Amino acid sequence: MTERVLITGGSGFVGYHLIEAAVQAGLEVYAAVRPSSEVAHLQAFGIKYTSLDFSDVDAIKRELEEKQYHYIIHAAGITKAKQAGDYVRVNAEYTRNLGEAAAGAGIPLKKFVFISSLAALGPTAYEEVIPIHEASAAMPVTAYGKSKLLAEKYLAEVERLPLVVLRPTAVYGPREKDIFIILKTLNLGLEPYIGSKPQWLSFVYVKDLAKAVIQALGASINGASYNVSDGNRYNRYALASTTKYILGKKSVRIHMPIGMVRVMARLLEALYATSSKMPALNKEKLNELAAENWHCSIDKLKEELGFVPEYDLEKGLQQTLQWYKENKWL
């Protein structure tokens, strides 16, 4: 019998690649999407769809028992919100509800994989030589990161949940829309930076993240958390330098004072005041963008799950930029 997986957040950027990897792994995929979600880009996978009321544990439980899932990959969540309470409700409380429903339902559940974020641990100082590791003291610098950390805490408290937590760093790849803004700006010949202090950054290509998730489904370990990146540390200019090399472009490098960027973030938030959306640059996001050091260790992921990244930044950007050009994003 084909094993069945529920993937929440299926219509999103990461969700698309999780579905692709799950289908390739021979799993029967159900994507949990909102009724209003656009799913035309998923049609080629031949998957099934469902919807969940994340606010109702009993309703979730009934849905899980009806479908009899073997695996759950929880990738749904929000990265931008007007109020800190929205992050808590969607990213933490809804995650707890799904975890409690999964543990209490009569289903043959083998693994519950939660896609958290390196933001749950937070950055370190530029001079710190030891990379962020799973046992690092959690010091998130945004409400988003705090909500992901809270979600992890909630899930850890759910008894009998076969849990694995993955904390990806900055994820890029085909269909991604935030880092894409930087790539599009570089394509236009502009290379802006926030402040002039040095930074260490880390990245993970979305197909490597999807591979780590599939490996986590088959892991014998429960109750473990893993950082996910390509294993490298990049200076703040690496993304631009690599992108320009691939595109054959030159750029004008601009270092904007952080005070000026804060004003821009406040203005953008004011412009979006009557909108249901948030701008890509906002006061919250600025705390992450300006952080000094996001270098993380993936030694634990390698040792316990056998994960080996296939893509460094150059290889991942080659495929990403090619996709953006072929699909007329660039």
Please write the tens of the pLDDT for every residue from 253-309: 999 999 999 999 999 999 998 888 888 889 889 999 999 999 999 999 999 999 999
Q: Judge whether 212 lies within some domain.
A: yes
Please name the amino acid found at residue 67. K
Q: Which domain holds residue 304?
A: 4-175+202-233+295-311
Residues of the chain with pLDDT under 70: none
Q: Judge whether 53 lies within some domain.
A: yes
Q: Judge whether 299 lies within some domain.
A: yes
Q: Judge whether 52 lies within some domain.
A: yes
Give the pLDDT score at 283: 87
Q: For the full predicted model, state whether its pTM sits above 0.85.
A: yes
Domain count for the chain: 1
Give the pLDDT score at 35: 87
Q: Judge whether 167 lies within some domain.
A: yes
Q: Judge whether 160 lies within some domain.
A: yes
Beta bridge partners of 5: 29, 71
CATH of the domain at 134: 3.40.50.720
Question: For the CA atoms of 34, 38, 40, 45, what is the dihedral angle to 10 degrees?
Answer: -40
Q: Residue 194 has which token pair?
A: 């926030």
Phi first, then psi: what are they for 3, rounded to 5°? -80, 145
Q: Judge whether 248 lies within some domain.
A: no
DSSP state letters, 270-323 = HHTTTSSS--SS-HHHHHHHT-SB--B--HHHHHHH-------HHHHHHHHHHH
Q: Judge whether 40 lies within some domain.
A: yes
